[in-house]
Structure 1
Amino acid sequence: MSTHTYIGCAGWSLPRDSAAHFPGEGSHLERYAAVFAAAEINSSFHKPHQPKTYERWAAATPPHFRFAVKLPRTITHDAKLQGVEELLARFAAEAGALQDKLGVVLVQLPPKLALDPHAAQVLFAALHRLLGCTIACEARHPDWFTPAATQLLRDAGVTRVLADPPVGYAGPFVPTSEAAYVRLHGSPRIYYSRYTPQQLEDVRAYLAPRPGSWCVFDNTAGGAAVPNALELTALLGGQAASPLPSER
């Protein structure tokens, strides 16, 4: 298991206010990857990317860098995990072009999709077989948070995503793996709100004893993700990031 903590954002856009923390030369991805260790590709959820696109992204990043790639909605939302063998094979042929830069496949499920144990087991087994990387599941229906569902995820070698704000469960979060996959969408205003220093300290305390964990900031709509990721990187002892101004 990796001992690295992978902190990054959904995508690699760099807001102007944070530009001073990154090199001045190179593509957005090259500049981003000079500071962060990971990025989550969400665009794959909406449309396929050609293998050569993934190859280009892999080539633009340093050896330690890793991508998480979101499973297409054609599999999770349209087909609802049923009869998806051909779709999975197509996705694997595309995202697999990242080779060792592929760190995680993110499976985000619709809030109305209840747990079908057989379909879930078939999906997870196929992803492990086709891509051989970590599988993280952000389920959002209460059926996915029962003791039986927790055991299914553990048996399948799948990391349950810790999301903020939570959807589908209340009460203590029950992990299914030693390493965590944390997705911070922004709270109270989803995709917009910036996390406070105390909230980031809470995240740091959660991640610190869990080597190999991921933390992805998805509060990108207002440009808060990159500043928050810089702050958390500094808290965890990564590349230095000077204190950033609080959200007004």
Structure 2
Amino acid sequence: MSADRTRHPIRVGVAGWGIPKLSAHAFPVDGSHLERTARVLPMTEVNSSFYRPHKPETWARWAASTPPDFRFAVKIPKAITHEARLAGAGDALDRFLGEAGRLGDRLGPLLVQLPPSLGFDPAVADGFLAGLRVRFDGDVVCEPRHAGWFSAEAEGLLVTHRVARVAADPAPVEGAAEPGGWDGLRYWRMHGSPVMYRSAYEPAALDGLADRLLAESLERPVWCVFDNTADFHAVDDALALLGRIGDAPAPVPPP
């Protein structure tokens, strides 16, 4: 499927901004890994924020290291999603948003990844999402991994709060491979298949994914993140997908 000039943006990137040695020829040789990544890929997903806070000046430095059209998707801390399990998280949200907000106009979607053990509790989910929306008006995506989040009630709540449900590969539960929730954007997280975090994607799989993203982009912005970083396949898969959707960066000659 060829690129369509009228489509919405398709942002393809990886989790983090490490550049594997075997992929280095596709990137400029000068600058930090983030600066080099941002000259080739249109986005990255910050996963380190899930594990630990970063100083506001760190976020500001990251923003200043990237061109104006680059975007960061940012994962909400596990202290909120896994430890507090979405309850009573107002203070933690305030701290996190005060830090990540220093990205300014480089800030893309917030990613709320939920633990597999966290089922859908309507009161808790509504309270959390309402509190998040009071504090943040930008894009939000949610990656639930419990079957309870794939009900009509959960779907309706996500739509109400303008939260898109992630399409995940491999799917942890039935329905998780397809996007859902608010349809104002689509967000894919490609974790590697058949071996999660390790497998590269076969060319046929990337062909099918490219067709799907191009079709979705006729109606809404689309994001796709490769998280199969353990054996260093994410960068090459992202570059291959960009080529298939017609957004391949200009090649950088090997040094």
TM > 0.5: yes
Give the drift of 1:210: 2.2
**Structure 1 stretches of 4+ moved >4 Å:** none
Q: Larger relative contact order (C-alpha < 8 A, sep ≥ 6)?
A: 2
Which consecutive residues of structure 1, in runs of 5 or more, have no partner in the other structure?
A: 243-248
What pairs up with 1:60-71 in 2 under 5 angstroms? 60-71=65-76
1:111–1:141 CA contact under 8 A, matched in 2: yes
Aligned to 1:246: none
| Cα offset, 1:51, TM superposition | 0.7
Kindly state the Cα deviation for residue 171 of structure 1 after the two structures are TM-superposed.
Answer: 8.2
Give per-residue Cα distances to partners, 1:177-220, cap 9 Å, x unaligned: 14210000001111110001110111111111223110000000
- The AA in structure 2 aligned to 1:138 is E
Cα RMSD between the aligned structures? Answer: 1.6
Please show how residues 135-174 of structure 1 align to structure 2 within 5 Å.
Answer: 135-170=140-175, 173=178
Aligned counterpart, 1:123: 128
Q: How far off its partner does 1:129 sit?
A: 2.9
1:202/1:151 CA distance change after superposition, 3 Å:
same
Give 1:221's aligned residue.
230
SS in structure 2 at match of 1:111: coil
Which of 105, 110, 118 is the aligned partner of 1:105?
A: 110
Q: CA deviation at 1:174?
A: 5.4
Q: Distance in 2 between matches of 1:171 and 1:179?
A: 16
Q: Does 1:201 align with 2:186?
A: no
Long gaps (5+) in structure 2: 1-6
Give the Å deviation of 1:168.
Answer: 2.5
- Spell out the pairing of 1:174-213 with structure 2 (5 A cutoff): 175-176=180-181, 177-211=183-217, 212-213=221-222
Task: State the distance in 1 between where 2:24 and 2:167 align.
Answer: 29
In the alignment, does 2:240 pair up with 1:231? yes
Tell me which amino acid in the other structure corresponds to 1:99: G
Amino acid at match of 2:211: A
Q: Is the contact made by 1:11 and 1:42 (CA closer than 8 Å) also made in structure 2?
A: yes
Partner SS, residue 208 of structure 1: helix
